[in-house]
Amino acid sequence: MAGLVDPRCALSAESPIIGDTVEVVVGTDKRTFYIHERLIRSQSAFFESALGKEWKEGQARKIELPDDDAHIFEAYARWLYSGKLAVNDGDEGGFEWWSPTNEAVEIIYKTTPRGSPARHLMVDMHTLKGDERWIDIGHPEKHNHDFTVDLAHALLKKRTVHSYFASEHEALDKGNPCSYHKHGKGEECDA
């Protein structure tokens, strides 16, 4: 049984959910979110800068993100307030599985710097617990490019070739170039 999380906090601690809210208008349909300013500024360098008093957004307490997806921002807002990521849940073959949504990955990669712990979490979840169903190969444009590169790098670092699969790598290991191209009828490889 997992241990209980300590529910206490010091009264002297500044709460990120006390104080003014800012209006964030997202997408072409102009979906509006009201987020506590202290919270969003503490978690995002972009919002920390944009809400500075020297910018019109900071003075108006309103930020417009017309090029962003409202569903992605909603998942980000949920994470801000709950500290939990949006995941797909399901029951497959008698066991429950959880995977981060594409939206969660996108939010983390759009709002955090290279090397952040949240990015490492996304890559580790996919590398260590992932399933091929998590990646939509029919629509690669749905996946964040930097995440895909980080995932490929992590998978290559963890790769070991078991002797059972050695025959699959024989062409590469023995340098047989014919394994990687096709010959026309009657043609032979002159390599």
- Find the mean pLDDT for residues 169-179: 64
pLDDT band at residue 116 under the 50/70/90 scheme = confident
Give the pLDDT confidence of 6-44 residue by residue, as tens digits.
Answer: 666 666 667 777 788 999 999 999 999 999 999 898 888
Rounded percentage of the chain residues whose pLDDT exceeds 90: 17
Domains of the chain: 14-84 (3.30.710.10), 108-184 (no CATH)
- Global confidence as pTM: 0.53
CB 17 within 8 A of CB 36: yes
- Find the mean pLDDT for residues 86-109: 67
